[in-house]
Structure 1
Amino acid sequence: MSTPHVDDADRLARVKLSSAIEPGDLRVTGLVGELGAVKVLDYLEAAGEVENHWGFTIGHELAHVDPGKVLEQVAGRGIRFVIPGDAEWPDQLAGLRGAGALHDRGGEPVGLWIRGAADLQQLAANAVAVVGSRAATSYGTHQATELSRDLATMGHTVVSGLAYGVDQAAHRGALLAGGPTIAVMPCGVDRPYPAAHAQLLEAIADRGLVVAEAPPGTAPTRARFLARNRIVAGLTEGTVVVEGAIRSGTLSMARWAEAMHRPVMGVPVPVTSAASVGVNQLIRLGQASMVTTAQEVITDLTTHAYSAARDQLDESFVPGPVRSPQGQAPSSITPASAPRR
């Protein structure tokens, strides 16, 4: 779904870049944000002729991409490519521009590949990330299912990563409520990962959206998982962590949310569980608020939105001249010109 003010050259340049770079390559996403996709594409194509240039490999990959053909092929499989400037592009992804880097990944994506008939901007406008451990306990999967079902019932879109454990439970909970859910993939949107979730992936594509920064056909890698985490946080108003060990990759989503000044919430879990350590530490250190119900999640989101709006108003307020009760500005009286008594 494109809008007339989106330049076709920009779209084609972004298709080529997306097809040749690793998701979240901050060198490229940063340059695109500053210079635009067309100039960056020209620069990297020229870099393909310079062997010791950092963009040498990318330049070689670009030479094998026909962006028009790529778009035509994926359209036949129900996949579209959405870019900044499209009506469907979620404005909140711009928060990634100033959020820095984590594991050498960062920046606003050059574009997103999407499956599903729903509108990404509309679904993301009221979205909450529900994420957690792959090795979830029965307690964790139960909490994720119930929390997501209640959030969906209350009109929120649940966003997660389709992984085993908490992610799977979050998607299923939203679907049980008849609500939409967004699966953000570490691979192409046409590639079920894990394979055991192929049926769930199809259900999400039917009722919600499947989103990926990596192009169709791409396999998952560790770097793509890490890049995916920032998209989950970037699409949502806030992030709820249900379970996560101390070194869980799930906690990187919390770090991204914090970097964008969005609320991080944690569901407390038993202190005897290894899956509890990461979440409980976030709560103990004040890096996440404790939530136990969907209503508490919504309260935290609302409170944060109110505080952010108030802070923005305070920053933009410029005092004007003091007015008298009759609405007239008082005359300027300095001590030298003041009448003597």
Structure 2
Amino acid sequence: MVRDGAVSGGATPSHPTAETVARACLTAVASPGDPAMGRAIATHGAVAVWRAVREERPLAAPSERDASGFAVRLRRWRARAQRVDGEALLARADDLGVRVAVPGDPEWPRQLDDLAEARPYALWMRGARDLRHCCLRSVAVVGSRAASSYGLHATGELCYALAERGWVTVSGGAYGIDGAAHRAALTGGAATVAVLACGLDVAYPRGHENLFADVGSAGVLVTEHPPGTLPSRHAFLVRNRLIAALTPGTVVVEAGPRSGALNTASHARELCRTLMAVPGPVTSALSSGCHRLLRDFQAVCVTEAADVIEQVGQIGADLRPQTATVLDPAELDELSRRVLAALPQRTTVGTATVAAAAEVDLDTALRTLGVLAAGGFVERGETGWRARSAP
């Protein structure tokens, strides 16, 4: 049950539907995002596909493009299916506090449907918060594993400020930028979502075991892999599409020329999500990927939380506050200082009085008062001018 974004009790029913069981089992036999499996489920239904795989029933290729390689895939799925016991799989998940969501469930984030044939067959989740609710106001923040002190600092400042404003950070749980993003979000008092490339009973990387426990207490851990699945290079690349799809926008904080974060950025562009990048030192190879996104892929340059929220928030409601340009008093010329000194702060005086006190002509007084007003030093009332106490 879900109440105000928190999960109470198990989200997976004690007697799961045939659809839930079938989709959960399919996550154990087919690689995540396999378009052939996605099309097969769309064409035949998850229950029929699982029965055909498990019981070796006939299963037609879902489309002409699958015809040539579908038989090979089907043999591979059937071989794996012989080792899968649906009831045991879900019972183990329940023992681990892991729940399953499938398309149509209340906790299923509907934006994942944008992945079409690459949509997850099911999601395995653990944590105190509801995934769909968490992703309503969320931002993906990704970057290099071998992050610099600059990247870690920029990530911490950004995600902490986002959390203070009630925004959830979604990232991949890896070392470097990912870990800094999750920690800053938790410190800021908001939920965070960690999308993993392994089963939820596998702490990878091992050094983030405590971090994952904290994420589960205040947010949610999510994966496409059933319990017991070890991570692989392919799994990391495939899960990046999930990070991009869950949120309305992705921020790349720091990324080298071959960083996996650029793969997430590519998925964000393909899904028509807002792509943002934090600029870095031009001498840093770790920022070269961000600079390429800004230069060649029309990423939006962001440097603080207000920039990000303006891009992914509600139109009109989350605009970045406009800051007025205020002159530095030390930069005022002698004439401006003289006119400013002629103005009171609590009462107003006319332009002629200001001109006389500053020993300038009326036109000069008007022109100078206009400059001072633009700089925030003075303001005009109904009966005249006065100095502002805090320009």
Relative to the length of structure 2, the TM-score reads 0.72
For each residue in 1:301-329, what CA deviation from the matched residue of structure 2 results, as whole angstroms up to 9, or x when unmatched?
137899xxxxxxxxxxxxxxxxxxxxxxx
Contact 1:47 1:56 in 2 (8 A): no
How much has 1:45 moved relative to structure 2?
3.6
Counterpart Cα distance in 2 of 1:48 and 1:164: 44
- Larger deviation: 37-46 or 297-306? 297-306
Counterpart Cα distance in 1 of 2:58 and 2:102: 28
Select 2:274's aligned residue among 257, 260, 263.
263
Shift of the 206–302 alpha-carbon distance from structure 1 to 2, 3 Å rule, reads closer
2:34 match: 25
Select 2:172's aligned residue among 161, 170, 184.
161
2:349 match: none
Task: Tell me the secondary structure at the aligned position of residue 19 of structure 1.
Answer: coil
Counterpart Cα distance in 2 of 1:166 and 1:198: 16
Letter in 1 for 2:81: L
- What pairs with 1:299-318 in structure 2 (closer than 5 Å)? 299-302=310-313
Shift of the 288–305 alpha-carbon distance from structure 1 to 2, 3 Å rule, reads farther
RMSD: 2.3
1:16 match: 25
1:223 match: 234
Are 1:70 and 2:102 an aligned pair?
no
How much has 1:57 moved relative to structure 2?
1.6
How much has 1:130 moved relative to structure 2?
0.4
Counterpart Cα distance in 2 of 1:216 and 1:298: 35
Task: Tell me the secondary structure at the aligned position of residue 28 of structure 2.
Answer: helix
Contact 1:159 1:181 in 2 (8 A): yes
Gaps of 5+ in 1: 99-106, 307-341
Contact 1:47 1:55 in 2 (8 A): no
Letter in 2 for 1:235: L
Contact 1:48 1:58 in 2 (8 A): no
- What pairs with 1:111-260 in structure 2 (closer than 5 Å)? 111-260=122-271
Gaps of 5+ in 2: 2-10, 60-69, 318-391
Letter in 2 for 1:33: A
- Larger deviation: 66-75 or 84-93? 66-75
Task: Tell me the secondary structure at the aligned position of residue 132 of structure 2.
Answer: helix
Contact 2:33 2:120 in 1 (8 A): yes
Contact 1:243 1:276 in 2 (8 A): yes
Counterpart Cα distance in 1 of 2:29 and 2:234: 15
Select 1:41's aligned residue among 50, 59, 76.
50
- Larger deviation: 52-61 or 110-119? 52-61
Letter in 1 for 2:105: D
1:94 match: 113
How much has 1:3 moved relative to structure 2?
9.3
Task: Tell me the secondary structure at the aligned position of residue 20 of structure 1.
Answer: coil
If asked which structure has higher relative contact order (CA below 8 Å, sep 6+), I would say 1
Task: Tell me the secondary structure at the aligned position of residue 119 of structure 2.
Answer: coil
Contact 2:12 2:99 in 1 (8 A): no
Letter in 2 for 1:54: R
How much has 1:47 moved relative to structure 2?
5.5
Contact 2:202 2:230 in 1 (8 A): yes
Counterpart Cα distance in 1 of 2:56 and 2:232: 25
How much has 1:39 moved relative to structure 2?
2.2
Select 2:74's aligned residue among 55, 60, 63.
55
Counterpart Cα distance in 1 of 2:286 and 2:44: 43
Task: Work out which of the two has the higher radius of gyration on C-alpha atoms and give 1 or 2.
Answer: 2
Shift of the 305–93 alpha-carbon distance from structure 1 to 2, 3 Å rule, reads farther
For each residue in 1:160-195, what CA deviation from the matched residue of structure 2 results, as whole angstroms up to 9, or x when unmatched?
011111001000100111110011001111211110
Shift of the 86–250 alpha-carbon distance from structure 1 to 2, 3 Å rule, reads same
Aligned residues: 297
How much has 1:208 moved relative to structure 2?
0.5
Contact 1:3 1:85 in 2 (8 A): no
Are 1:279 and 2:290 an aligned pair?
yes
Contact 1:190 1:216 in 2 (8 A): yes
Shift of the 247–303 alpha-carbon distance from structure 1 to 2, 3 Å rule, reads farther
Task: Tell me the secondary structure at the aligned position of residue 216 of structure 1.
Answer: coil
Letter in 2 for 1:211: V
Counterpart Cα distance in 2 of 1:163 and 1:195: 10
Counterpart Cα distance in 2 of 1:43 and 1:34: 13
For each residue in 1:224-252, what CA deviation from the matched residue of structure 2 results, as whole angstroms up to 9, or x when unmatched?
00111011111111100001111111111
How much has 1:64 moved relative to structure 2?
2.1
Counterpart Cα distance in 2 of 1:59 and 1:286: 42
Counterpart Cα distance in 2 of 1:121 and 1:277: 34
